[in-house]
Amino acid sequence: MFGVGLHFSLKDLMAVKAIAIPGAIGQILVATLLGWGLAALMGWPVIHGVVFGFALATASTVVLLRAMEERRLLETQRGKIAVGWLIVEDLACVLALVMMPVMAGVFGPDAANEHHTIGSVLASIGWTFVQLGLFVAVMLVVGRRVIPWILERIAGTGSRELFTLSVLAIALGVAFGSAMLFGVSFALGAFFAGMLLNESELSHKAASDSLPLRDAFAVLFFVSVGMLFNPSILIEHPWQVLATAGIIMFGKSAAAFFIVRAFGHPTGTALTISASLAQIGEFAFIIAGLGVTLKILPPTGQALVLAGALISIMLNPLVFGLLDRWLLKHQETTPTAVETELPPGPSLDLHDHAIVIGYGRVGSALAQV
């Protein structure tokens, strides 16, 4: 999410909120209902079905970022909508992680030993929103000025190693601090750190220096998914695995498609958003694991979530491949010029001008001269 934030500005975040907020909420509701329906067919209690369905509703940032970067869509309107969509899902996951212990106390097997009232539940929700608001306020008011200033002072020392270390320290520090002080997820904190670094003129260098770390974390993510997967679930519950994968790849993707189309966006944009969300990842594992710990999700549910994640991640490149073919075939009906429209450039009728390619330490000094 830090790498995504480096390509995302505050203006971009405000521009996509009109579709990202209602779109993500609508898609989460549809996926949760579908998961609850599958759980009901398996004879699970309602609370188990709700947790299971919500775990299937959130997409993986790592997989989305990979697909968008390979196709150079991160800077387009489609890419920004998809990223904004995932930010809203992350916020929903933060709220869900706070509410799950309360739900376990009210509806779980140990509910008789817990005493929760409507007031206590509303207080928990309100406190979560207060923490989230404080985090956003600190990031926008303080971080927007402090982080770029620190980065520029460090770059002024001329030490490449210190600059790279500072970029990684800011990314991990903001992510850790947001989780410890404000109860916000690591992913959301890292996204805001990248977005605030994007305000600096050194954002491109920060992005290039953080690329090895992003690749390392991406590899660890995919390895961890394989290590957690239990192959016996495919033999013991074959139709449940297929139904789970169907909800992930078709159910919530269809909901996203119709929502994007309802907002007036072209079919190509709707299909891109649908393909981006046709998988689940890190937050699904966290929610499923916490659900098992709180006894509001059976271990079979966690195994189904892992199986669905593995299948959807493996098939997601194929989905994007089909999308690429469709877009290539229908270019005349879904032109990309609107999404990648550039601002009017300077007049080409120029004399006695020089073009400096690269605005790092050497390029900036050369431009001043």
Residue 89 structure tokens: 């899902």
- Rounded CA-CA distance 5/366 in Å is 29
User: What pLDDT, in 10s, does the model give residues 289-338?
Assistant: 888 888 888 989 989 999 998 898 889 889 888 888 888 887 644 444 44
Closest among 82, 118, 105 to 8, alpha carbons compared:
82
Cut 0.75: pTM above it: no
What pLDDT score was predicted for residue 346?
Answer: 61
**Cα distance between residue 150 and residue 66, in whole Å:** 29
**How many Å apart are CA 194 and CA 240, to the nearest integer?**
39
d(CA 211, CA 113): 49
Residue 183, Cβ density class (10 Å: 0-12 exposed, 13-18 middle, ≥19 buried): middle
- Give the lowest-confidence range in 158-167, 193-202, 218-227, 269-278: 193-202
Return the domain boundaries, the chain: 2-368
Fold for domain 2-368? Na+/H+ antiporter like fold (1.20.1530)
SS3 of 71, please? Answer: coil
Helix (H, G, I), strand (E, B) or coil at 351: coil
Q: 321, 204, 176, 242: which is closest to 41 by C-alpha?
A: 242
d(CA 277, CA 268): 14
